[in-house]
Structure 1
Amino acid sequence: MTIHLSKSRLKYLSRLGLFLFLLILSGLFYASCNTQSSRNQSGKAHLGESPMTDSMVVDQLIQRSRSFYEETGMRAEPFDRFLQEAMEIASRHNLLWQQVRILNTIGRRYRDRSAYGEALRYHNRALTIAQNINNKGLLSEVYNQIGVVFRRTDDNAIALDMHFKALRLAEETRDSFNISVAINSIGNVNANLGRYHSAIEYFLRALEYADRLDNTLGKAINNHNIGECRLKMGYPEEALEYFQKSLAYNNQIGSRAGQSICYNSIGAVYIAKDDPVTALEYLERALNINDRLGDLMQVSISHSKIGEVYLLLGDFAKADDHLNKSYELAKNIGSRFQAEESLRLLSRLHEANHNYATSLEYFKTATAYRDSILNEKNINHLTTMEAMLETEAQRNRIYQLNQMTSEQLITLGRQRLMLTIIIIIFVILAVITTLLIYQHRLRIKYNNLKNQHKLLRSQMNPHFIFNALSAIQVYVLEHDVEKSTKFLTDFAKLMRLVLKTSHHDFIPLKDESEILKYYLELQKLRFVSPFNYQITIDEGLDQENTFVPPMLTQPFVENAVEHGVRLMENQGHLDIRFKKLNTQMVVEVEDNGIGISSSIDQKQKSGINKKHESMAIKITKERLDVIRNDIGGKVSLEIIDKKNINPFDRGTLIRIILPIVSQNN
């Protein structure tokens, strides 16, 4: 039943050290998470998470640029002042997705001007940003735009690759709009290659998405594309049906440009059907719309087609008028393709009029335009390739820089980790050293306290022993054999019990009660006016299996006898009670003596220092502190003057509360 305080305290200190270690690791993990969270927040800022007002301003500027561009046409700069201001705001506030929109818009405008190299440069800048922020929706849109550039330069293989990349990304993000755009673009590439059946399949798929999205413009475009394929395949009747559907959708959304395109295509159908009169009717409608729209390119095309119809009708004067208008417009706006087409028709016209010299001149000029177109395509192709190589080189440089940055970050991370580990080890060593020193001091303090306890338990009050031996001597001198024999017997039993229990931290309650009994019997023999006492133990306390600290109550019993009932004129009485209260044991020592206050007054009159405190009581309090630390539970000591509770009562009440210690625990 011996309790080792040092082991218990060592466990406590070990747990404390482990707790501090885990606390340090938790702090480091939390700091790491905060750092990672800060990096994530920084990454979000690069995605363009900016105040809504800035994004709205950029949207308005892009819309104003589009309106201005539609009004002025080719006279406007592709990168106008509205887009410049929008790009400045988007760059300042890290609106990266808006920057992609702006760059794509500029690239489309250069593409419409056949400046494919410039167009590709802007689209590649947009692609780099979209790749950096890993936005699949933007990547799909950019790949579609790049694919259109390569389709216009007859690089159909690269165009197909771009559109298929756009299609895969759009499918991953379930972006139906970009899916339909990619499918339509793949169909256009197949149409350029003369694979009209494959092209129609893609246009039909794109048309399904347009129906699903209720995209009227998409319906108009895909129906028109299917009509063109059927016309080139030699099915003008089917082509006419699709052109009429496209025209109906353009009428629904009020697209004048779409109406003009449909009228031209329907005119081409009637030309194929050898019905130039009806064809002329639709082509003139297209011309009227294009005149109102002010689109000089479309006006030139309309004059060219009308001139071709008049050529078929044999009205050479009107044919010449319209073809010359078409040529002049094409030459003024710099459209070499349309100029070449007009000159070719003029050559046929003069050949039909037997003006062979003039026909030859027009034919030569048309050939020159065609050669320049081919040269331009080659130049554009070369420019496109240069732009691709430049972009690839930039990507390689960026990749190398990213690799170097990653390696530096890894090195810094390792250094930071090593520093963190060193700090943790140092802190742990410091904590362990501190705990060991603290434990060593506690062990020394405990050993000193334990020695004091052993000293207290191993010896009775010297005054009591001296008085007991003096009383025995008196009985021997008086030849009172009976009393002296009983005194010696009780004294020997008491000494035997004290020596027997002096080396144990806890003893059975039965032994403690016997020690008190023999002690009180000896005290009664000492006094002329003996006192009464009673030791009461609750039935709920098993005297054999319930353990208490040895000699814990003896100092209080001695004080009750020496300073309480001994000084009384009448017979004194002493009650010692061991009571069970739930999981606690309550030990009470109560006497009807003169009380604490009267005892202190008598000591002062006798010249005893009022600051003097019984060493036995002091050590008993320290023993109770040890029990509280070792076993836990409620441990307390109360010394009560009964007169403070009831003015008509006298005596002292000592109450000690201990945890119940049994042989099982």
Structure 2
Amino acid sequence: MFKSFFSFLLLLLILVKGSNTFAQDSVLVFRTLDSARKIPADTGKVNWLIDKGKALGRYFDKRSLENPFFQEAITLSQRWRFARGLFNAYNETGISKRNRSEYLLAADYHQKAVKYAEEIGNDLLLCIALNNTGVDYRRMDDQLEKAFEYHFRALQLAEKINDVRNICIAINSIGNIQLSTEKYADAINHFEKALELERENKNNLGVAINLGNIGYAYQGLGKLDLAIDYYKRSLAVNNQLDNNTGRAICYNALGSVYQQKKDYNNALFYLNRALEVNGHVDDKVHIAESYLNIGKLWSLQGKHAEARRYFQQSVDLSLAWRFKYILTEVYKAMAADYKASGDFKRSLESMDTSLLYKDSILNEKSALALAQTQAIYEVDRKDNQIKLLEHDKQISELRTKRNVVYTLSMAGFLLMLAVGGFFYIRHRNLETNKQTLQLELRSLRAQMNPHFIFNSLSSIHRFIWSNNQEEASDYLTKFSRLMRMILDNTQHTFISLNKELESLRLYLDLEKLRCNNVFEYRIEVDEEINEEEVMIPPMIIQPYVENAIWHGLVHKSGKGLLEIAVNLKGRTLICTVTDNGIGRKKAIEIKEKKGQTHRSMGMQVTEGRIDLIRKINNTKEATVNITDLEDEVGKPTGTQVKLVLPVEFIF
């Protein structure tokens, strides 16, 4: 459809125009359009369409045709929600509309570009779109306030990202707005800022434009000599650039300012130079304008015949090229000239003709504004239709996806139900087993109390008979305190590490006193451990300490040493009990000599507790390792017990 529609359009234009050159251009455009059909539909195609639309833009602008490349780029970008493509297509379409003086449409397209630049989040693109929208509104004489708002936003953003090109555009445009509203001093301030930036960036065309603008501002202030100076400086830069359009503008400006000074010779010289240069410029409107200005100059000098000759040349050229604005001005000037010469009848006729053209221009502007408003409506309607179609397509795709998701969800739900049921039954069995193990653990923990109390009472009995009553009383006081602490601690599955160590220190103090200080002890806790937060099973270390004292240290000749080190690794507590006693082998020999063959009740109960802890927590980390220490020649130097336990934390 894309190919057939534009093929028909181009064929129709060829038949209407009948020009060989036009036909050749049309064939080139047709081939480019045809090649677009062969490109895969992706974001790369959108970029290709925009590039070709820009390259062939003058072809469509001259013939007041919609640029099909931009339109197709917009359609494809909307289909794929390609925001960058939509920005570029809308921005370029807006420039195309502005080149054809369709400023209302241009502003609408550039506002769309602003929207997509904001969606992308690209400050540079947003600067470009804001400045373009400002230029569109500036070309509409009654929209200068809006133009200022857009350029001011662009300026703030461009300064934020330090983009000199957009800073210059914004400042220059704000200056032109102030020039139009006769705020000449403010305009000069902005033009000078733009001029400085253009010089820093060696942009001579920008330098020439801003020099000329400063000249206009000084002319508006009545400082004509300064205006002439800036016009001549601008002219020098345009000569350096060999820019005929710039030369013509400067010559016309100089002619105007010399005319204002009533220096008619210089005014005529520069206006004639403008006329000569305009002959090398494609746009004939400048030639018609030069004829008009020279005619006005002769009229001011009272040389009516010469003035009317130039007025007539301006009329002839404007009629041929339909320059209605020039016709309005030239007939107005002719009316003034006829009035000055006393020919009031022709003056009235000329003024009527001027008003007719002015009315025609107003009607055309109204018609153009209406056409642009309708075009905006059509564009928005088309965009909404595309979005609606895409929306319907998305809904259809979502329905299909929804059905697939429902099916997969149901299958997943059934699978999860089966897996969940399996794990629920397994978890219930584990919980039952865990409760059984915890009951066994409570039973073993309960056995610790009578065992420890029995051993302690035996010690008190021996201590009383072997020591004086005062020391026995002190010993009994400490023992009762230890008993209260142990009875309280063993009511809980876990207690804090500091409580366990406190009871252990009290026990060691009693045993040290009872053994007449035959050993010393040292407890070292890692600095990184918070003793109040770490929770361990109660009375879990004491049996190994008791075993080290009564089977290792009390039989040692010389001073004994018991070391207890506590470290934390993740959620695992490592407690090491080291003594420098006689060693296990020697201790067994002593027991055999005394006829003591039974194993320690405390050790048996504690090993059972550790085994149950391992099962409850489903871990292999709950272990006890006993190592016989020896020197270099193999002589026993003591025993080391390494107790590894899983721990809990308060927080």
- TM-score (normalizing by structure 1): 0.52
Once the two structures are superposed, residues 574-618 of structure 1 have per-residue CA deviations (whole angstroms, 9 ceiling, x without a partner) of xxxxxx989999856999xxxxxxxxxxxxxxxxxxxxxxxxxxx
Residues in 2 aligned to 1:189 and 1:625: alpha-carbon distance in whole angstroms:
90
- Residue 340 (structure 1) shift: 0.9
Distance 1:392 1:94, change over 3 A: closer
Once the two structures are superposed, residues 5-27 of structure 1 have per-residue CA deviations (whole angstroms, 9 ceiling, x without a partner) of xxxxxxxxxxxxxxxxxxxxxxx
Secondary structure, counterpart of 2:101 in structure 1: coil
Residues in 2 aligned to 1:585 and 1:438: alpha-carbon distance in whole angstroms:
45
1:226 correspondence with 2:214: yes
Q: Is the 8 A contact 2:627 2:641 kept in 1?
A: no
Secondary structure, counterpart of 1:659 in structure 2: strand
Map 1:422-461 → 2, pairs under 5 A: 438=430, 440-442=432-434, 444-445=436-437
**Structure 1 letter corresponding to 2:101:** S
Residues in 2 aligned to 1:583 and 1:99: alpha-carbon distance in whole angstroms:
85
Partner of 1:329: 317
- Residue 239 (structure 1) shift: 0.8
Secondary structure, counterpart of 2:280 in structure 1: helix
Larger C-alpha radius of gyration, 1 or 2? 1
Select the structure with the greater relative contact order (CA < 8 A; seq sep ≥ 6). 1
Map 1:229-628 → 2, pairs under 5 A: 229-312=217-300, 319-349=307-337, 357-376=345-364, 438=430, 440-442=432-434, 444-445=436-437, 508-509=546-547, 587=584, 626=611
Once the two structures are superposed, residues 262-287 of structure 1 have per-residue CA deviations (whole angstroms, 9 ceiling, x without a partner) of 12212222222333343333333333
**Structure 2 letter corresponding to 1:198:** D
Residues in 2 aligned to 1:443 and 1:341: alpha-carbon distance in whole angstroms:
106
Residues in 1 aligned to 2:94 and 2:562: alpha-carbon distance in whole angstroms:
100
1:106 correspondence with 2:88: no
Secondary structure, counterpart of 2:87 in structure 1: helix
Secondary structure, counterpart of 1:292 in structure 2: coil
**Structure 2 letter corresponding to 1:117:** L
Partner of 2:106: 119
Residues in 2 aligned to 1:585 and 1:270: alpha-carbon distance in whole angstroms:
124
Q: Is the 8 A contact 1:58 1:98 kept in 2?
A: no
- Residue 103 (structure 1) shift: 2.6
Residues in 2 aligned to 1:585 and 1:385: alpha-carbon distance in whole angstroms:
108
2:127 to 140, 145, 149: 140
Distance 1:153 1:107, change over 3 A: farther
Partner of 1:208: 196
Q: Is the 8 A contact 1:263 1:282 kept in 2?
A: yes
Partner of 1:659: 641
Secondary structure, counterpart of 1:635 in structure 2: strand
Distance 1:310 1:215, change over 3 A: same
Once the two structures are superposed, residues 143-192 of structure 1 have per-residue CA deviations (whole angstroms, 9 ceiling, x without a partner) of 33333333323233333333333333334444343233223222222222
Q: Which runs of 5+ in 1 are unaligned?
A: 1-49, 397-426, 456-503, 515-534, 547-579, 592-618, 639-656
Residues in 2 aligned to 1:155 and 1:75: alpha-carbon distance in whole angstroms:
26
Partner of 2:154: 166
Once the two structures are superposed, residues 307-337 of structure 1 have per-residue CA deviations (whole angstroms, 9 ceiling, x without a partner) of 3344456665654444333223333444321
Q: Is the 8 A contact 2:184 2:221 kept in 1?
A: yes
**Structure 1 letter corresponding to 2:142:** D
Residues in 1 aligned to 2:112 and 2:365: alpha-carbon distance in whole angstroms:
23
Residues in 2 aligned to 1:158 and 1:96: alpha-carbon distance in whole angstroms:
25
- TM-score (normalizing by structure 2): 0.53
- Residue 243 (structure 1) shift: 0.9
Residues in 2 aligned to 1:87 and 1:192: alpha-carbon distance in whole angstroms:
36
Distance 1:621 1:84, change over 3 A: same
Residues in 1 aligned to 2:562 and 2:135: alpha-carbon distance in whole angstroms:
101
Distance 1:283 1:61, change over 3 A: farther
Residues in 1 aligned to 2:279 and 2:219: alpha-carbon distance in whole angstroms:
26
Residues in 1 aligned to 2:131 and 2:621: alpha-carbon distance in whole angstroms:
78
| Identity between Structure 1 and Structure 2 (%) | 27
Residues in 1 aligned to 2:611 and 2:558: alpha-carbon distance in whole angstroms:
26
Once the two structures are superposed, residues 603-642 of structure 1 have per-residue CA deviations (whole angstroms, 9 ceiling, x without a partner) of xxxxxxxxxxxxxxxx99986972994995663899xxxx
- Residue 101 (structure 1) shift: 4.1
Secondary structure, counterpart of 2:279 in structure 1: helix
The total of aligned residue pairs comes to 448
**Structure 1 letter corresponding to 2:436:** I
Residues in 2 aligned to 1:64 and 1:260: alpha-carbon distance in whole angstroms:
28
Residues in 2 aligned to 1:87 and 1:255: alpha-carbon distance in whole angstroms:
36
Partner of 2:145: 157
**Structure 1 letter corresponding to 2:247:** Q
Secondary structure, counterpart of 1:204 in structure 2: helix
Residues in 2 aligned to 1:583 and 1:248: alpha-carbon distance in whole angstroms:
105
- Residue 435 (structure 1) shift: 6.5
Partner of 2:625: 635
Q: Is the 8 A contact 1:236 1:273 kept in 2?
A: yes
Once the two structures are superposed, residues 334-371 of structure 1 have per-residue CA deviations (whole angstroms, 9 ceiling, x without a partner) of 43211211222334455566665444333211111123
- Residue 227 (structure 1) shift: 0.9
**Structure 2 letter corresponding to 1:183:** I
